[in-house]
Structure 1
Amino acid sequence: MTNPPTISHWLNNDVFTGTSGQSAPVTNPATGQVTGQVALASVEDAQTVINAAVAAFPAWRDTSITKRVQTLFAFRELLNARRGELAAIITAEHGKVLSDAMGEVARGIEVVEFACGIPHLLKGGYSENASTNVDVYNIRQALGPVAIIAPFNFPAMVPMWFFAIAIAAGNTVVVKPSEKDPSSSLWMAELWKEAGLPDGVFNVLQGDKTAVDELLTNPAIKAVSFVGSTPIAQYVYRTATASGKRVQALGGAKNHAVVLPDADLDLAADSMVNAG
């Protein structure tokens, strides 16, 4: 019997195995079979991946918006043509049915398409005589390397919600997928490479709390986007803001609903079960 493949990190448009020697099993929920071993980053591994994003930032920030969007369009076309591959990966590691996985990918593509309109969204403003003889300008500038900590339940959609906008706006990205279904992010990294994204702009850091804590505290990471449980969202927000970062920490969104007294209870119950 062959050993299951190792699911590694990604930096500078190539696989990075890391040096920690630590890994965790990835299973197919339908069968319980171990299908891979995901690398668990050490602090040093995390710093190596972050440093790739740091090195790539100046050139990507200075790349014209037109050229950035051309790369984004190329990524969108590849993603749209091969969405079935990504859905199959999601199903194999997460366990949701293929039609549901295809829906997840479609919702992610919507944000990639939205990000293709970034030239209009990045416009600044100018107000003449906002106060007496005082003119006011505002401009939008890239922050730098940013981190995305993704949840188990939407391993492709949630990262796409964040990284499409971040990359279009001139930032570089480090994605930390859930260690339960880590392969989607690596597949998307390969697609970014095929689309022509320069080295170091899109990176994947596999791991557990060690990797997360380095992203939350490393001064090179300028912002963090997170989706997950409420207690972890609070931890992410508290830790990252203490390090001076901008933070989106989205927690606890588990299909909540308000059922009013005049509701059709059978329909309401059915809808809530389907939503969950």
Structure 2
Amino acid sequence: MATPDLRHPDQAAAEPPLPAAKAPGQKAPGRALPRESLVAGVKAAVGIIGLFVVWELLVLVIDPADYLFVGPLSAFAELIERPGYFAENTFVTLQEALAGFALGTALGVLCGAALHYSATARSFLYPALIAIDTIPKVALAPLFIVWFGFGFESKAFVAMAIAFFPLVINTYDGLSSVPHELQELARINRASPWKKMVKIDFIYAIPSIFSGAKISISLAVGGAVVGEFIAGSKGLGYVILLANSQVDLPSMFAAFIVLAAIALTLFFLVDYAGRKLAPWKNHAK
């Protein structure tokens, strides 16, 4: 039998309602989950360490010549022996990748929005973008070098060209998937096109945009290396080319490991930013 509420009506109305009971195993919305994040981080670390262990065991079992294949211990020994050399070249590649990613993100989001909001742009621009994307970016690198020279700019533009397309597609898909109910709500409230775009369309599209950004950030690192392959005098791409010419596999694999670490770190940073900007996406699962 329910207990009657003996409070005065005004007193009961003034007091905030008690929080609803939480079902067993239900996550509290809006709160960080440090234990789950820690467990996920430990699992990722164990997976990476396991990969290195399998790699080293494979080298020990096969015992190939040093000019054919080396293990991670040789690569890490090279990193420890020449930390300044790898740090200097890593910084160059990181700058080029971040600049290309920033340019690719800005242009990709703008083009994706243009495809969504303009039927004319969609008719003319979308087929052209598809055609450009089918061109291997290695083939575009010499063109950027002709336009921008052998310096930082040409590598950044190669990275931009590779990082650009995923953001165009994901921005367009995210803006196109806004529910009809939200569009109707904006119409009922007489929201201007600008307010609708800023307060509804792009807010709803944030998870999709960041999904494209997670792909693009790794591609931008690869794009910077491609530019260094074509015309580089420094950077991790240049380190790989130099090691290849000298048959120095420890240096080559050390550069591979650093590139993987850069791409993985940037991927998780973009993923973290996406979770912070779209927290509702995490609790919709």
TM-score category, normalised to shorter length:
under 0.3
- Structure with greater Cα Rg: 2
Q: What TM-score, normalized by structure 2, do the two folds share?
A: 0.23
Structure holding more strand per residue: 1
Structure holding more helix per residue: 2
Q: What TM-score, normalized by structure 1, do the two folds share?
A: 0.24
